Structure 1
């Protein structure tokens, strides 16, 4: 496994500050610990637009209008918003269905157990299952695919990965360079393979996942160089 470690280390060396960000994610402290913004982030990200250019600015716009200047201070208040109230920020109705439905479920889970929003997300994530994700209450929400499901689990404290197309491409490239034959045929197998790479190389699975996005070329450099400061905010 020496070659695998060398290849992974080469990729990871380009991602200064990644561990700190991933630890914050696993501690449910993104967006200063605001679970409303984490859910909105995941909901916007569910339609596959550029994360740093499209998703983050709109999440911060939502924060400004509805969290700082408005009345959305918890998941219950998020779930009670209407499309009409928020469509000027984000027009995609499926995204809002994800945001409102996930917020509603987590609020009910927390209310039933005497948990705050962060505790509710972490309780759900801890008990949510990868292989049976389609049977999960959040997995059943229209617009929630495995990638969004995994993203929410990560922000709820689970050290796992999202099996999106960029993650797949970089992981398969990494395995080819290392001369390793590990299965990545379907999304669940891909997640398990990333977990295995993490175990063998002593990195966290979430670190490998975020690395794949941050080493992508954009303009004259890579995203880590262009958006490194944004990680401190989100």
Structure 2
């Protein structure tokens, strides 16, 4: 699927659900959209993003399938950013058209995408955040948890059970220079690994989001399997955390 088609397909599904669209910026002819789907009766708000790294296509494709299946038609409000790096996705590169890694730019905000995205997030309260990623170096699924509220290890066990039919957890004891708490589970603090290079999840934590999961599927596996794993993980996380 072409990038413009993917952006348009997500837009159609979100607007059909009644989401309010905001154009954050345009880069090289591609729009970067953010959506708000607020429900008066909801007590919680979920943030969901994908496509911040252009060489990680499984996340945006999984998000589109989740939209089509109306996974977000639940008793909570939503903030959704389906394709944060369209130029990178078009080129198949991690970085944007300027050669910048957007997921290290949330402190300095040198890129127009992150500058606009961070401004849009200002003042927005979310109770739970999910970001969809991929990793070329892993052989199984893993995730980062940033948790500023209660520690509930049973969530991990339920995640593993939900993913078992689709994908094994990453077996390595060190993942991206992080020690794991259990196989495929990095329990990360609220401080960035590199003080001057903030990722999206750290920025969200600094802005008061109490709990976030960053999901990583192995890029070496077949694309549709990665999409399926992301979908399973998102659905499990919503059951566990909302």
TM-score (norm 2): 0.26
User: More helix by proportion, 1 or 2?
Assistant: 1
With a CA cutoff of 8 Å and minimum separation of 6, indicate the structure with the bigger relative contact order: 1
Higher strand share: 2
